[in-house]
Amino acid sequence: MLESIPLTKERKMILIAGAIVLLLGAIYRFYPDIHSMVSVSDEMAVKQKQVETYAGIVAKRKQIEKENAYVKRMQKQAEMRLLPGDTPALAAVEIQNILNTISAASNVKFVTMRVMKPEEDADAEFIRLPVQFSMNSNIVQLKTILYQIEASPKLLIVKELDASLSKSRGQEDLIRSTITVEGLMQRTGAESKPLPKKKAD
């Protein structure tokens, strides 16, 4: 039976030194392959990050283009609600025609109607055109006419309303009202200013 070789301090040092030499040799031998694998992995991670960043930029630009297209559509719809006519007088006639159509549908006759002075601002792109009328109606007719004015295809706003109850013996109570309606027309020679577009970062 072989006797075990005693491990002296010197022999332990030799074994440890040998193991270190073998480990260094293995690292030296396989370092190019390991380094290549790590480098490829890092490069792939960087490229993947670049692809994700680029995809994010493309998606953001598409969203901005979509929003800008929506803004243009909304602006075009708003412009279609402006009053036609080359002059404030012609545009005011359009308001009168709309009001007459609304009153006829409600079986109400206007007592008075007058075109008021246009409200112009030198820096504004639009001219505000007020038209005032008075009428006698019941509450249902008044509510219907006010609703139809606000719901008009053209942009009309009820700017002022002054109403009082008129009682007559043996007759239906009527409401005497004076209403000022305001419409908008584009200033002659002024082109519609597009809303500012959003920009990608």
Beta carbons of 149 and 181 less than 8 angstroms apart: yes
Tens of pLDDT, residues 30-70: 556 555 555 556 667 766 777 777 677 777 777 787 777 77
- Domain spans in the chain, listed from the N-terminal domain onward: 10-80, 88-186
| More confident call, 195 vs 126 | 126
Residue 190 has pLDDT above 50, yes or no: no
| Residue 195, amino acid | L
Tell me, what's the pLDDT at 111?
A: 95
What would the pLDDT profile of 5-19 be if each residue is shown by its tens digit? 565 666 666 667 666
- Under a CB-based contact definition with an 8 Å cutoff, are residues 127 and 88 in contact? yes
Question: According to the model, what pLDDT value does residue 134 have?
Answer: 96
Q: Please report the pLDDT score of residue 191 as a whole number.
A: 46
* Per-residue pLDDT tens digits for 74-86: 767 777 888 888 8
Measured CA to CA, the distance from residue 200 to residue 84 in angstroms comes to 37
3-state secondary structure of 30: helix
CATH class of the domain whose range is 88-186: alpha beta
Half-sphere exposure of 140 (CA within 13 A, CB side): 4
Q: What is the pLDDT of residue 17?
A: 67
Name residue 199's amino acid: K
Residues 148 and 102: beta-carbon distance below 8 Å: yes
